[in-house]
Homo-oligomer: A and B are copies of this chain.
């Protein structure tokens, strides 16, 4: 926590000009109870204090240095800080890796200086941080972040800035705010660990444009979510957004599917927009956990009540029927309805819809809500439908920390997300901190696409059930037919030609010697190698894929095989390693998994042989970090048997 609660701070680049960052920060620090040392060789005194020419000239020890000077001067200032033995450095200055090669060089220089020390660095190119409980605000936003229980970690300063203003309006606040910048040192994972232990923090929000270390994020976030909720909003999902992000914080955003899978698998909630983020933060900041789903709705408006009930049904919350107090309800009528639903022990959460009609007593009704629900330890949201007319009533609720969401249908949606989070949060899968070690004697692999012979060796080593395959030649066709039997398949190694159906590099259902011979000749003209396999008649086709991208852990793709994988997009993805029970759950989330599990009276297939293939495949890919891609299409699965018919393996020099 030394980073976020220093007792003394030196401001390198302190300025007399209040509109400059170094002036802004000095102004903000006037409220800080710790010691502040302005550092600037051009001044003797600043803000009524002695000003030092360098951090080294400060006579006493200093916990933290804030650096807000031009980028070319930063490395020397960092050297001074290390010399002074500060515990942490916050580099506000931009002009580093986000600005091109010269800037990257500066970052490398600083990294090298820091490496042998225990000094923590936040930034560069960051928006500072804030610890409102200490009146410590090192940002330069228009609004000072109000104090509260939300911790915000952000790769965008503007989003922090916006949320401070939003929180002030909503009477919410922050336990901590940290702008990440280029993450030369401290990253989101370090902060998650700190915030998990922070008693002032109830919910953690993350705005990211990339993950500093995705595997570590999975391991840490899945643990933190057992303690408190993490909400992630991710920028740079599109190619345009990705380009913009790169010039923003030097972050290269990963593909969307990886981002979504990572957030989901970590047990975090994903906010798809700033709107969702603010509403989720309001709910998670104000409401207790919601473990069950019986929702009571009290409304004085028929239509909006009906719409809210419709939404509840769509998001699987139980509403027996909205309590309609009718358009002419006075505050006392509402009160009676509140008493009724509060008494009902079955109800887990409350939504009150208040629509301003001629007779409606907005303020009196809101005062009644505050009074009657203040001791109820269950989630409650009030939807005040209307424009300016409802503002004073809304203020009564906000001041008393009652959640208000303008639209009743949105309120229901956010309640359902609260429920889903808390309902599932005990079942979060803890992603391992360390991967299992493979004790097999490994064979060495060349780079590029592996040949069939290499794949046979590798699958044997990892007990992967590859169908018996022969190399067909002019003179061994009869022997192969004797060995494998009819019907026979002749085809290419998938590594050789990609779209076999289009390119006629596969012949199925060969039932006579003459057919086999004819097809062999046709294939031999195009291919260096012709494979012969027995045709597996019935069974379901499954697609299995593993891929490694950037510094993400290996991603498993499971789904329908053949054309259905593509056309119906019937696939699910998960990062490895996983255990058999998680894997079985994943399989059952796909349509093909439902079919195999005996959909509507279809025969139920034993999934164990398939699960065994995936687990062995996992061993293989974890043992070989140089394998970047495996495509198995299809595995054919039948009662008590799963057979790999086709496999393609890519080995790359660019290991993860």
Smallest beta-carbon distance A218→chain B, Å: 22
Q: Which of A99-107, A158-166, A608-616, A643-651 contacts B (4 or more CB under 8 A)?
A: A158-166
Q: Which of A191-199, A355-363, A449-457 contacts B (4 or more CB under 8 A)?
A: A355-363
A301 in contact (CB, < 8 A): yes
Q: Which of A65-73, A319-327, A370-378, A576-584 contacts B (4 or more CB under 8 A)?
A: A319-327
Residue of B nearest to A600 (CB): B566
Interface range, A side: 35 or more
Taking a contact as CB atoms under 8 Å apart, the answer to whether A140 and B591 are in contact is: no
A216 in contact (CB, < 8 A): no
Smallest beta-carbon distance A150→chain B, Å: 15
A59 in contact (CB, < 8 A): no
Q: CA A156 – CA B24 in complex, angstroms?
A: 53
Option from B300, B304, B501 in Cβ contact (under 8 Å) with A601: B501
Given contacts A140-B358, A301-B162, A385-B274, contact A321 B156 (CB under 8 A): no
Q: Annotate A305-337 by CB proximity to B: 1 below 8 A, 0 otherwise.
A: 111011111100001111010010000000000
Given contacts A303-B207, A304-B156, contact A321 B357 (CB under 8 A): no
Residue of B nearest to A385 (CB): B162
Q: CA A46 – CA B192 in complex, angstroms?
A: 71
Smallest beta-carbon distance A137→chain B, Å: 12
Residues of B within 8 A of A240 (CB): 309-310, 312-313, 319-322
Taking a contact as CB atoms under 8 Å apart, the answer to whether A142 and B314 are in contact is: no
Q: Annotate A134-157 by CB proximity to B: 1 below 8 A, 0 otherwise.
A: 000000111100000000001111
A3 in contact (CB, < 8 A): no
A463 in contact (CB, < 8 A): no
Given contacts A237-B310, A273-B307, A595-B567, contact A386 B166 (CB under 8 A): yes
Smallest beta-carbon distance A258→chain B, Å: 15
A47 in contact (CB, < 8 A): no
Among A233, A249, A307, A314, residue most surrounded by chain B Cβ atoms (within 10 Å) = A307
Residue of B nearest to A139 (CB): B358
A16 in contact (CB, < 8 A): no
A568 in contact (CB, < 8 A): yes
**Contacts of A204-254 to chain B: CB distance below 8 A:** 207, 209, 233, 235-241, 243-245, 248-249
Taking a contact as CB atoms under 8 Å apart, the answer to whether A386 and B165 are in contact is: yes
Given contacts A158-B357, A162-B386, contact A274 B304 (CB under 8 A): yes
Taking a contact as CB atoms under 8 Å apart, the answer to whether B161 and A355 are in contact is: yes
Option from B273, B319, B407, B563 in Cβ contact (under 8 Å) with A409: B273
Smallest beta-carbon distance A514→chain B, Å: 22
A168 in contact (CB, < 8 A): yes
Given contacts A322-B244, A600-B566, contact A303 B409 (CB under 8 A): no
**Interface residues, chain A, with chain B CB atoms under 8 Å away:** 19, 24, 140-143, 154-159, 161-162, 165-170, 207, 209, 233, 235-241, 243-245, 248-249, 272-275, 300-307, 309-314, 319-322, 324, 327, 355-360, 385-390, 406-410, 499, 501-502, 563-564, 566-568, 570, 591, 594-595, 599-602
